[in-house]
Amino acid sequence: MNNKILDILKNTEGYISGEEIGEKLGVSRTAVWKAISKLKKEGYNIEAVNNRGYHIIDDVDIINEKEIQDAIHTEILGKKIIFKDTVTSTNDVIKYIAEKGEKEGTVAVSEIQTAGRGRMGRKWESERGDGLWFSILLRPDIDPRKAPMLTLLAGLCVCRAARRVTGLDVSIKWPNDVIINDKKICGILTEMSTEIQKINYVVVGIGINVNTENFPEELSDVATSLKKEAGKDFSRKELLNEVLKDFEMYYNKYVKYGDFSIFTEEYEKMCNTIGRDINVIGRETYPAKAVGINESGELIVERENGTREIVFSGEVSVRRR
Ligand code: ADP
């Protein structure tokens, strides 16, 4: 019933009385009043004025299953949304249901992650609201060796969507970070379950700092949010829709062509690692210049003696000199 009341309030210009809502739904005014009190507790900004009735002010960035479902306009990715207020990580939610046979495209979203992860077991700070933490279940019919490139594809799509929604100068730090002014607004963690030649499933986990105002001290130099950069709030569900729309389009293309080369040009344009002097940090650490991306999404670097090397994302980190 709460969802029906929300629909009525959102589709009414001005005020509507409790009695009228009750009539539409075949319930009492008291029942309407109770439901509205509950919605207010959830954070909805609903005004009640004597003799006029109720009115919703759509100015709060609430995410829940209904809000997200209403905002998503895609064919497959996000057709089914699982929203949970608090989870260990949205990747865990997807892995669990993937093992039970859940279909491709289901997206898990949470307000808080108690154990959000980055690459190599690093921590992803997402223990408070205001962020967009979500994971997508994919079952691509491709060679398992081609799955890691989905991380780059997701980064490209987050970058495109964030630029569109915010107008900010968003770029990619190879391989998997989306940044503004060299500070991270998004991290992506891809995990998968494979057999020798077959992918069971891939989970693409994406964390975007949307309306975050304060980061823990240790992240203040490396992290920022869309709100901090733009000085205003953004709608998380709208951003989610934009990311999923792009990712659906790019993912379908990738599965069809089976090759990252169709995206390298756009990726290189959005990637601000390219053209920079960097330190490649791996088994061996050395200074180099990042010159491009190959058809597998690997970084091509040039050492100071002019020799070129390929850098794989799993092995190294790239830091500015
Ligand atoms: P990288 O490969 O750049 O080290 P990861 O994808 O492994 O990054 O993400 C983990 C790292 O991201 C952490 O070590 C931390 O420095 C940083 N980090 C953690 N939480 C956040 C956040 N909410 N926003 C931005 N950066 C974060």
pTM for this predicted structure? 0.93
- Fold (CATH) for 65-269: BirA Bifunctional Protein; domain 2 (3.30.930)
Tally of helices (H runs) and strands (E runs) in the chain:
9, 14
Q: What is the pLDDT of residue 120?
A: 81
Is residue 315 over pLDDT 80?
Answer: no
Nearest to 87 by CA among 126, 42, 130: 126
Q: Report the top-level CATH class of 2-56.
A: mainly alpha
CA of 187 relative to ligand 1 center, distance in Å: 6
- Cα–Cα distance measured from residue 225 to residue 218, given in angstroms and rounded to the nearest whole number: 15
pLDDT in tens, 96-129: 999 999 999 999 999 999 999 988 888 999 987 7
CA of 200 relative to ligand 1 center, distance in Å: 27
Atom of ligand 1 nearest to the CA of 173: 3
Measured at the CA of 274, the angle between CA 268 and CA 278, to 5 degrees, comes to: 155
Task: Please tell me whether residue 198 adopts helix, strand or coil conformation.
Answer: coil
The protein residue whose alpha carbon is closest to atom 1 in ligand 1 is 119
CA of 216 relative to ligand 1 center, distance in Å: 12
- Structural domain boundaries of the chain? 2-56, 65-269, 273-318
Q: Is the CB of 187 under 6 A from ligand 1?
A: yes
Q: Is the CB of 124 under 6 A from ligand 1?
A: yes
> How does DSSP classify residue 219?
G
pLDDT in tens, 181-230: 999 999 999 999 998 889 999 999 999 999 999 999 999 999 999 999 99
Q: Which CATH architecture has domain 273-318?
A: Roll (2.30)
- Cα–Cα distance measured from residue 278 to residue 24, given in angstroms and rounded to the nearest whole number: 64
